[in-house]
A and B are shown apart, each in its own frame.
Chain A
Amino acid sequence: MRCSSSVVDGDRSEDGDGRGGEVEIRDEKTWASLSRGGEEMRYREEDERHHRVSNVLRTSDPPLGSVPTRTDESQFLRGDGNGRFGRFGGKFVPETLISPLRDLEDEFNFVLNDHEFQEELTTALRDYVGRETPVYFAGRLTEHYKNISQTTGGGPEIYLKREDLSHCGSHKINNALGQAMIARRLGCKRVVAATGAGQQGVATAAACAKFSMECTVFMGTADIEKQSSNVLSMKLLGAQVKSVEGTFKDASSEAIRNWVGNLETTYYLSGTVVGPHPSPLMVREFQSVIGKETRRQAKQLWGGKPDVLVACVGSGSNALGLFHEFLGDEDVRLVGVEAAGLGLDSGKHSATLAVGDVGVYHGSMSYLLQDDQGQILKPHSIGVGLEYPGVGPEISFLKESGRAEFYTATGQEAVQACMLLSRLEGIIPALEASHALAFLDKLVPTLRDGAKVVVNCSGRGDKDLDTLIQRGMPSSLC
C-alpha cells in the first residue's frame, strides 16, 4: 500500500487543500445525523481541532462524495457500505487494490449468510479452537478488591472471559480460522500475515496448516527477539517467518507490500480491525463470537447482562469482539484500556486514543500517533500486541460517539496486574490482557455492590515469561 510506504519515507503532506475541507463538511453532516443533542457542537469543534488528515495519497481516493448520511441504528452498528464508521474507516488504497478488496468484500458478505460456511466455521471453532470459552467468576480477585475497599457490601463481581483457553492461546484464532476459510474459497494458495507478539502469526500458521495453505509471516526484528518461542512455534507449524527491521507496524507494511506484489495467488490475513474496508468489518465480525457467547453466558450465570465490559486495546480486535454484541445495550458500559508504556509524558507508549490525532494509516482513517509533521511516532509497550501507533476505525468511532470510554495503564501497572492474577487465580494472563486487568484498580472502587464486570482475558502469558523474568520479581507482591 503506497500510503504506508510514503509514511515510512517521510513523505507526508498536510492536507490543506479543498479535499480536506470537503471531508470536514461532509463529516459534520454525518455527525449531525448521529449526534445526541448537546454533543453536536462539541464534536464539530473537535473536528476542527483534530482535523489533520494526513492524506498522502497522490493517486485517487475512493470518491468521498458517496458517504451517505446514516439514520438507522443497524448501520450505526455495522458500518456503512464504504466501510465508514462515522468519519473513520474507508478505503485509502492505491487503485490496484480496489478490485481485490471488492472481491473480498463480496466473498465476505456471501459467507456471512452461507449456511455451509457458517456450519464449518462453527464446528471448527468448537472442535478445533475449543469454544465456547468460559466466563469464569474470579472469586479471589473479587475478594481482593473487596478487602482493599473495605466495603461492607459484596463489592463488584469480576468475571473473566477466557480467551486464553483458545487453541494457540489467544482470541486471534477466531479470525484466523474464518479468514483462512475465505482464502480457501477465493482459491488462494498462499497466505501472508504480520504479527507483533506472535499470537497472530501462530494463529495464522495453525489455520493455514489445518487448511493446507502456504503461510508467510512477517515480524519485526525487535519483536522476534522478545517473543522467540512464538517464532519457533510458527516455524514448526510450517510457516515461513520473515523478519522486518522494526516492529509490528513495519511488519504490517511489508506484509501488505508482499500481498500487493502477489495479488493473483496471495491472501493477506489481517489480524486486527485496522486496514482498508472490509478488513475492520470482517475481523470484527469473526471476533464477535466472544460477545455473543458472553451475552448467553451472562444470562445463564446471573440472569442478566454485564454492567461493565473491559478489554485491552492495541488495534482493537479483542475489544470489539467483546463489545460489538452490546453496542445497542446502553446500560452496558464499554471500557477500553490502552498501553501507557513508560507513561504518557515519556513519549514511550501506545496510547493512540489518549493523545493521538486523526489521520490515514494503513488504508483507513482513524486516530494515530503522529507528530506535528504528520510522521508516525514509534509506539512502545511491554505488551507487544498493544504496540501499534494506530487503532481500528470502529474504535475511534466508539470513542468519538461516546459509546465507549478509553483509559490507559502503564507497563509497570500491567506487570503488577499479571502477577496479581497469577497469584490469586492461578491464571497467568498475557501482558496485553494485563493492561485491562490493571485498570480494575481504578475502576472497581467506583462501581456499586454486585456490579458485574466482565474482563476479556484475551490471551495467556506463557509467551511473556522471559519478559517477566527480566523485570524480576517484586519483593512484595501487593
Chain B
Amino acid sequence: MATSGTASSFRTSVSASSRLTHLRSSPFKVPNFTPLPSSRSHSFSVSCTIAKDPTFLMAEAEKTKAAGSDPTLWKRPDSFGRFGKFGGKYVPETLMHALSELETAFYSLATDDDFQRELAGILKDYVGRESPLYFAERLTEHYRRENGEGPLIYLKREDLNHTGAHKINNAVAQALLAKRLGKKRIIAETGAGQHGVATATVCARFGLQCIIYMGAQDMERQALNVFRMRLLGAEVRGVHSGTATLKDATSEAIRDWVTNVETTHYILGSVAGPHPYPMMVRDFHAVIGKETRRQAMEKWGGKPDVLVACVGGGSNAMGLFHEFVDDTEVRMIGVEAAGFGLDSGKHAATLTKGDVGVLHGAMSYLLQDDDGQIIEPHSISAGLDYPGVGPEHSFLKDMGRAEYYSVTDEEALEAFKRVSRLEGIIPALETSHALAHLEKLCPTLPDGARVVLNFSGRGDKDVQTAIKYLEV
C-alpha cells in the first residue's frame, strides 16, 4: 500500500525533531520506556509546531484549496487519514499494524449487513435510540424578541441515552468491532470518568475484560465514577506520573496498547488520535446527524438552519455535523470552553487560541506554548478540558465550513441553571457551553430559523459541582 511508504517518511522527519529518539532506533522492539520527566508534561507522541510543510503536504493542501468551497469534493479523510493537512498517523512503528488492521476491519464492517444489523439492534434496545428531537418551547420563548420574532430551538436528546451521554454510541460500536477482531481485552483512558464508565458499560455487556487508566488526582475527585466503573466489572488503574491527570492516563493507556497490541483494543473516546480513530469515532456517532435529518423532515419538512454543539475533543459535534457538511446552507457552530476567560490563560479554547501541532498521534490545533509544550487546559467541565481537538474540526475551521466560539465557566453555569429551570432538563456542564452560546447567537438569527442543539449529556454528574457555584 502506498500509504505506509509515504506515511513513514513523515514519521521519520517528525520524530527526528522529537524527544523520543529512543523509539527511532528500534522500530520493532517495544522498549520499556519510562515516561518523560514531569516538567515536560506531555504525552509520548510528538508535539511540535511544523515550521515547514513537506512538499507532499503542500500538494494536498493545494488540492484542497482547489476543491474550495465545495464540500462534496473534500476528502474527509483521504487515504492517509488526512483532513487537508490535519490528521494523519503520528505513532511508533509497533502501532502501525494495529491501526491498519483496525482501518481494514472498519471498512469491511461498514458494508457487513450482519454487523450493521447487530449494531442497530444494540443502539435501539440497549442504548435506547433513536433519541428524540425535542422542541424546547420555553427556551424558544426565552429567546423571542420584543416584536415576537425569534428562532425555534430544538434539542437533540443524547442525554436520554443509556449512561446519559452520546459517548455510548461509539463505545458500543468499538466493543462490537473489537469482538469481531477477536480481541478479548479493552483499554481506555478517562479524565472525569464519563468515557471510562461508557467503556466499562459496554465491556460488561459484551463480556470483555476492561482496564481503565485514570490519573490518580482525577480518581480522588471522581470517586463516584471510579466506583461505578468497578461495579461494572472494570479494573481502574491509577496513574501517578506527571500531573496524574488525563494526559498522563492517555500516555499510560497508549503504552499498554503498544505492549499488548495483539490481544487488546484501545477504545478512544473522541475524534482525536491517529487515523483511523477520528474517522471511525465520527462515523459511529454519525447516527446523531442521520436521525436529526429524518426527524427534521418529519417535524417541519426541511433541514435545520443552524447546528450547535460543544467541542472538547469534538465527537458529539462531529456526530451531529457530519451528515450535514455537504449541505452548505446548514450553518455549523462549535462551542469550546473559555474557562476563566480567553486572556486568563486558563481555558480549553483550542481552535480559538491554539496553534497547529501533533498531539496523541494526529496533527491538529492544540494549546501549546512557544516551546511546543502542551499548556494545561482548564474548564469547569471535565469533558471539554482537553488541550487538543479532533483534526476534522481543525479542517472545518480552516475551510470556513464551521464556526467556532467559546464560552466561560460562568456563562456555562448560567446556562446550566437556566435550562434546568426553563425545560426541566439538567444539562451536562459540557452541553451547557453550547446552550450558553445561544445567548449570543439567537439575537442574530432571523425569525423562524430552526436551531438544533446537540444536548450531548445529562447533568446529574455535575449537580454537586454546580451547586457550589450557583445560588439555589
Residues of B within 8 A of A210 (CB): 137-138, 423-424
Q: C-beta contact mask, B413-431 vs A, less than 8 Å → 1, else 0?
A: 0001100111111100000
CA distance A235 to B467 in the complex (A): 9
Q: Does B106 contact A (CB under 8 A)?
A: no
> Contact: A237 with B128, CB < 8 Å?
no
Q: C-beta contact mask, B143-170 vs A, less than 8 Å → 1, else 0?
A: 0000000000000010011100000000
Can you pick out 21 interface pairs between chain A and chain B where the beta carbons lie within 8 Å of each other?
Answer: A130-B132, A134-B125, A134-B128, A136-B126, A140-B207, A162-B125, A165-B161, A209-B424, A210-B423, A212-B138, A229-B460, A232-B464, A233-B460, A233-B463, A235-B472, A236-B421, A237-B421, A423-B232, A426-B202, A427-B162, A465-B227
Partner of A209, one of B161, B201, B420: B420
Partner of B201, one of A137, A206, A233, A426: A426
Q: Does B307 contact A (CB under 8 A)?
A: no
Chain A residue at minimal CB-CB distance from B128: A165
Q: Does B73 contact A (CB under 8 A)?
A: no
Q: State the majority secondary structure of interface residues on A.
A: helix
Q: Does A469 contact B (CB under 8 A)?
A: yes
A-facing residues in B197-242 (Cβ within 8 Å): 200-205, 207, 224, 227-228, 230-233
Q: Looking at A130, A210, A425, which has the most chain B CB atoms within 10 Å of its CB?
A: A130
Q: Does B28 contact A (CB under 8 A)?
A: no
Q: Does A167 contact B (CB under 8 A)?
A: yes
Residues of B within 8 A of A283 (CB): none
Q: Does A264 contact B (CB under 8 A)?
A: no
> Contact: B232 with A428, CB < 8 Å?
yes
Given contacts A127-B157, A232-B463, A466-B224, 5 further A-B pairs with CB under 8 A are A127-B135, A165-B128, A229-B464, A236-B470, A462-B460
Partner of A428, one of B131, B138, B231: B231
CA distance A422 to B233 in the complex (A): 8
Q: Does A93 contact B (CB under 8 A)?
A: no
Q: State the majority secondary structure of interface residues on B.
A: helix
Q: Does B133 contact A (CB under 8 A)?
A: yes
CA distance A465 to B162 in the complex (A): 17
CA distance A232 to B422 in the complex (A): 16
Residues of B within 8 A of A162 (CB): 125, 128, 162
Q: Does B466 contact A (CB under 8 A)?
A: yes
CA distance A235 to B420 in the complex (A): 10
A-facing residues in B226-270 (Cβ within 8 Å): 227-228, 230-233
> Contact: A469 with B227, CB < 8 Å?
yes
> Contact: B231 with A422, CB < 8 Å?
yes
Residues of A within 8 A of B205 (CB): 140, 425-426
Partner of A127, one of B133, B161, B459: B133
A233-B125 contact in complex given A130-B131, A130-B160, A469-B227, C-beta closer than 8 Å: no
Q: Does B294 contact A (CB under 8 A)?
A: no
Q: Looking at B131, B132, B422, which has the most chain A CB atoms within 10 Å of its CB?
A: B132
Q: Does A94 contact B (CB under 8 A)?
A: no
Point out residues on B near A: beta carbons under 8 Å.
124-126, 128, 131-135, 137-138, 157, 160-162, 200-205, 207, 224, 227-228, 230-233, 416-417, 420-426, 459-460, 463-464, 466-467, 470, 472
CA distance A465 to B463 in the complex (A): 15
Chain A residue at minimal CB-CB distance from B137: A210
Q: Does A128 contact B (CB under 8 A)?
A: yes
How far does the Cβ of B242 sit from chain A's closest Cβ, in whole Å? 28
> Contact: A209 with B466, CB < 8 Å?
no
Q: Does A133 contact B (CB under 8 A)?
A: yes
> Contact: A130 with B157, CB < 8 Å?
yes
How far does the Cβ of A83 sit from chain B's closest Cβ, in whole Å? 30
Chain B residue at minimal CB-CB distance from A428: B231
Chain A residue at minimal CB-CB distance from B126: A136
CA distance A469 to B231 in the complex (A): 10
Q: Looking at B133, B224, B416, which has the most chain A CB atoms within 10 Å of its CB?
A: B224
Residues of A within 8 A of B135 (CB): 127
CA distance A133 to B425 in the complex (A): 18
Q: Does A468 contact B (CB under 8 A)?
A: yes
Q: Which 10 A-B pairs have the closest CB atoms?
A: A209-B424, A206-B424, A426-B204, A426-B201, A130-B160, A426-B205, A165-B128, A127-B132, A127-B134, A210-B424
Q: Does A424 contact B (CB under 8 A)?
A: yes
> Contact: A423 with B228, CB < 8 Å?
no
CA distance A419 to B231 in the complex (A): 6
Chain B residue at minimal CB-CB distance from A134: B125
Q: Does A395 contact B (CB under 8 A)?
A: no
Q: Does A208 contact B (CB under 8 A)?
A: yes
How far does the Cβ of B459 sit from chain A's closest Cβ, in whole Å? 8
A134-B207 contact in complex given A236-B417, A419-B231, A468-B227, C-beta closer than 8 Å: no
CA distance A426 to B162 in the complex (A): 10
A238-B421 contact in complex given A127-B133, A140-B207, A232-B463, C-beta closer than 8 Å: yes
> Contact: B132 with A135, CB < 8 Å?
no
Residues of B within 8 A of A140 (CB): 205, 207
> Contact: B200 with A209, CB < 8 Å?
no
Partner of A422, one of B137, B232, B464: B232
CA distance A251 to B42 in the complex (A): 54
Residues of B within 8 A of A238 (CB): 420-421
A236-B420 contact in complex given A128-B132, A133-B128, A423-B233, C-beta closer than 8 Å: yes
CA distance A351 to B366 in the complex (A): 59
Chain A residue at minimal CB-CB distance from B157: A130
How far does the Cβ of A472 sit from chain B's closest Cβ, in whole Å? 11
CA distance A147 to B128 in the complex (A): 28
Residues of A within 8 A of B472 (CB): 232, 235-236
> Contact: A126 with B132, CB < 8 Å?
yes
How far does the Cβ of A469 sit from chain B's closest Cβ, in whole Å? 5
CA distance A238 to B417 in the complex (A): 9
Chain A residue at minimal CB-CB distance from B463: A232
Q: Does A7 contact B (CB under 8 A)?
A: no
Residues of B within 8 A of A212 (CB): 138
A233-B426 contact in complex given A133-B128, A134-B128, C-beta closer than 8 Å: yes
Q: Does A207 contact B (CB under 8 A)?
A: yes
B-facing residues in A434-474 (Cβ within 8 Å): 462, 465-466, 468-469, 473
How far does the Cβ of B27 sit from chain A's closest Cβ, in whole Å? 38
Chain A residue at minimal CB-CB distance from B155: A127
> Contact: A165 with B162, CB < 8 Å?
yes
Residues of A within 8 A of B470 (CB): 236
How far does the Cβ of B89 sit from chain A's closest Cβ, in whole Å? 31
Q: Does A57 contact B (CB under 8 A)?
A: no
CA distance A130 to B138 in the complex (A): 18
> Contact: B125 with A428, CB < 8 Å?
no
Residues of B within 8 A of A422 (CB): 204, 231-233
Q: Does A313 contact B (CB under 8 A)?
A: no
> Contact: A232 with B231, CB < 8 Å?
no
Chain A residue at minimal CB-CB distance from B225: A465
CA distance A477 to B230 in the complex (A): 11
> Contact: B128 with A130, CB < 8 Å?
yes
CA distance A165 to B128 in the complex (A): 7
CA distance A127 to B420 in the complex (A): 16
Residues of B within 8 A of A169 (CB): 460
> Contact: A236 with B466, CB < 8 Å?
yes
Residues of A within 8 A of B224 (CB): 465-466, 469
> Contact: A465 with B228, CB < 8 Å?
yes
How far does the Cβ of A78 sit from chain B's closest Cβ, in whole Å? 31
Q: Does A193 contact B (CB under 8 A)?
A: no
> Contact: B422 with A209, CB < 8 Å?
yes
How far does the Cβ of A22 sit from chain B's closest Cβ, in whole Å? 47
Q: Does A365 contact B (CB under 8 A)?
A: no
CA distance A433 to B161 in the complex (A): 19
